[in-house]
């Protein structure tokens, strides 16, 4: 497993950057950079960003392997949770659409029933009128 220091040293070596040049860019001594690269001293977040920019290395690649793994796992969990919520949301939309379709169908059935009732009432009124007029 590669640590912060090892990752910084590797990035520096990959870009053929001398330790003294990176130290100067970070405004620290070469000895301080050596301590960072040997994991005897922690690097600040600001300096880590400066190392990434100076070496043209993504910050993620400068993080220790275990941190990268944790971040990747966290990202996977976030995506998985998002997908699950997306699926649940989509399922709920389908359920609501089915409910609306069912309600529209029931509305039409009730309207038809009311029309039949109204026709029956009119029919009974006409029969009543005929019986009372004769």
pLDDT one-digit tens code per residue, 106-128: 999 999 999 999 999 999 989 88
Low-confidence ranges of the chain (pLDDT < 70): 134
Diameter over CA atoms, the chain: 123
Q: What is the pLDDT of residue 3?
A: 86
Quote the CA–CA distance of 134 and 122 in Å, as a whole number: 19
DSSP count for the chain of H helices, then E strands: 6, 0
| pTM of the complete model | 0.53
Residue 17 token pair:
């950057």
């Amino acid at each position: 497993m590669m640590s912060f220091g090892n990752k910084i040293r590797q990035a520096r070596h990959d870009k053929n950057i001398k330790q003294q040049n990176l130290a100067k860019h970070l405004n620290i001594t070469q000895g301080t950079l050596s301590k960072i690269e040997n994991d005897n001293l922690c690097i600040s977040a600001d300096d880590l960003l400066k190392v990434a920019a100076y070496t043209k290395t993504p910050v993620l690649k400068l993080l220790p392997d275990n941190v990268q793994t944790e971040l990747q796992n966290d990202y996977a969990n976030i995506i998985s949770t998002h997908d699950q919520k997306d699926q649940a949301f989509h399922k709920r939309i389908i359920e609501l659409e089915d409910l609306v379709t069912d309600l529209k169908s029931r509305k039409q059935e009730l309207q038809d029933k009311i029309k039949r009732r109204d026709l029956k009432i009119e029919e009974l009124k006409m029969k009543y009128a005929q019986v009372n007029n004769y």
